[in-house]
Each structure stands twice: as structure tokens, then as C-alpha cells.
Amino acid sequence: REAVDEDPELKGLPLTDERVKAKVEQQVREINRKLVTYKAVRSVVLRDEEFPKTTARKIKRQY
């Protein structure tokens, strides 16, 4: 969310907007060019809310 809000064109748009998705996909492609194949980003899921966290600020696992 922070990266989207830093871009003046995208600030305030919902994460479901096509322009936001396109910008994220573009950034992932740029990063993947610098990475070896087995370390490349395969998929990204945009969330409006943070994951639930423990009191230690770690992501709660759903077992």
C-alpha cells in the first residue's frame, strides 16, 4: 500500500484498480530481470489490509 501511495498518479486508488495492478506488474518484471530464475517473483497478491499479527508483530499463522 505504501508504494502505491508514494506514486502521485496512483495515490488513493483502490488496489483493485487496473493501473495499480499494471504498475506492480511492471515493477516485478524490472526486479525479475536482475534475479536468477529460481529467485524470481512468480505471483503477487495485493491486499487492502495487513495480515493479522501477534503481540510480537509477527504474522499469525492459521493452522
- Quickly count: other Cβ atoms within 10 Å of residue 40's Cβ: 13
Residue-by-residue pLDDT tens, the chain, 63 positions: 666 777 777 777 777 778 888 888 888 999 999 999 999 999 988 887 889 999 999 999 887
Question: Where do the structural domains in the chain lie, given as residue ranges?
Answer: 1-63
Range list of β-strands (E), the chain? none
Contact of 39 with 55, CB cutoff 8 Å = no
50, 51, 54, 60 alpha-carbon torsion, rounded to 10°: -170
CA–CA–CA angle 58, 31, 3 (5° rounding): 55
pTM for the model: 0.65
